[in-house]
């Protein structure tokens, strides 16, 4: 498959590997990482540095996404950044709805949907995160949670879904390739039912070089959203090459 994440344009079918750097790497570390990073052919590589490092990341050979985006163009929203501001920097897109935003910063399905809609309307690409907690999985609510999280998201050619089981994020407990495939198959069917075929579905949660190949080989896994393992250029390159 081959997808293009560059220029905020539409994805065609392909492999996408995005590195979510969370609150790591200021501008100088970001520049050093990208100067040493040569993305493999045939894979769209996206990095998602903190806001302060976005400007220095643009124009260094990979697509650049912010880790969040507000729905207003401007206004009295302390600590927030708009899609228009990101576009002015040359940023290609934004993550929305990461589970850390939902858990620690009061993000809801409704605010995630508003962020996604505004970013897509402004011309950015969007990676929208969905995923169940360990407790939701253990009590048989995985599909209900994903159905709810998915239902509010806009259908759009520049939307990408990242399935990130919360119990697998930063824990070293990766979903098995079959667990990921089961959920990705479910999400693919839900998206088709919502009239949104052709949307890429990434897997995220303790992806590393050692497990990326097996996960990305599953038929409904279109790539990965990688946290911790994307901070090291050698490791991230090995994941992208997988
Ligand atoms: P992790 O994080 O790869 O460190 O588990 C994934 C994410 O939060 O996107």
- Domain layout of the chain by residue ranges: 16-241
Of 136, 164, 184, 235, the catalytic one is 164
Q: Whose CA is nearest to atom 8 of ligand 1?
A: 227
At residue 63, what are phi and psi to the nearest 5 degrees?
-75, 150
| 3-class secondary structure, 93 | strand
Residue of 118, 106, 12, 26 whose CA lies nearest to 71: 118
Q: Which CATH class is domain 16-241?
A: alpha beta
The rounded distance, in Å, linking the Cα atoms of 207 and 18 is: 11
Q: What is the C-alpha radius of gyration for the chain, rounded to an integer number of angstroms?
A: 16
Distance 163 CA to ligand 1 centre (A): 11
Please state, for a pLDDT cut of 90, what percent of the chain lies above it. 90
Q: Whose CA is nearest to atom 6 of ligand 1?
A: 227
Check pLDDT > 80 for residue 206.
Answer: yes
Partners of residue 130 on adjacent β-strands: 163
Ligand 1 neighbours (beta carbon < 6 A): 20, 164, 169-170, 204-207, 225-229
Token representation of residue 140: 């048989």
Check pLDDT > 50 for residue 11.
Answer: no
Token representation of residue 146: 């994903």
Mean pLDDT, range 83-102, rounded to an integer: 98
Mean pLDDT, range 35-51, rounded to an integer: 95
Check: CB of residue 45 under 8 Å from CB of residue 223: no
Number of H helices and E strands in the chain, helices first, is 10, 8
Residue of 57, 191, 69 whose CA lies nearest to 124: 69
Instruction: Express each pLDDT in 147-164 by its tens digit.
Output: 999 999 999 999 999 999
Pocket test for ligand 1, best of 173, 226, 230 (most atoms within 8 A of CB): 226
Q: Whose CA is nearest to atom 9 of ligand 1?
A: 227
* Burial degree of 89 (CB within 10 A; 0-12, 13-18, 19+): middle
The rounded distance, in Å, linking the Cα atoms of 129 and 152 is: 12
Instruction: Express each pLDDT in 174-195 by its tens digit.
Output: 999 999 999 999 999 999 998 8
What is the structure's pLDDT at 15? 87
The rounded distance, in Å, linking the Cα atoms of 37 and 69 is: 26
Q: Does residue 98 have an active-site annotation? A: yes
């Amino acid at each position: 498959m081959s997808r293009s994440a560059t220029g905020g344009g539409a994805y065609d079918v392909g492999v996408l590997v995005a590195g979510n750097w969370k609150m790591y790497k200021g501008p100088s570390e970001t520049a050093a990482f990208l100067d040493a990073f040569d993305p493999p052919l045939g894979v769209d590589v996206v990095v998602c540095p903190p806001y302060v490092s976005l400007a220095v990341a643009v124009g260094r050979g990979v697509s650049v996404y912010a880790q969040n985006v507000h729905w207003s163009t401007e206004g009295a929203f302390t600590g927030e950044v708009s899609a228009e501001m990101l576009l002015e920097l040359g940023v290609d897109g934004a993550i929305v709805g990461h589970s850390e935003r939902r858990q620690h910063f009061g993000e809801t399905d409704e605010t995630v949907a508003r962020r996604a809609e505004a970013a897509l309307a402004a011309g950015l690409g969007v990676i929208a995160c969905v995923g169940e907690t360990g407790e939701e999985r253990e009590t048989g609510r995985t599909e209900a949670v994903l159905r709810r999280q998915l239902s509010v998201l806009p259908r759009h050619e520049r939307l990408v879904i990242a399935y990130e089981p919360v119990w697998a994020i930063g824990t070293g407990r990766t979903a098995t390739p079959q667990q990921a495939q089961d959920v990705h198959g479910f999400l693919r069917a839900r998206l088709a039912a919502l009239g949104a075929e052709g949307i890429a579905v990434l897997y995220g949660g303790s992806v590393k070089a050692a497990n990326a190949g097996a996960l990305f080989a599953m038929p409904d896994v279109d790539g990965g959203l990688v946290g911790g393992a994307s901070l090291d250029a050698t490791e991230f390159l090995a994941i992208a090459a997988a």
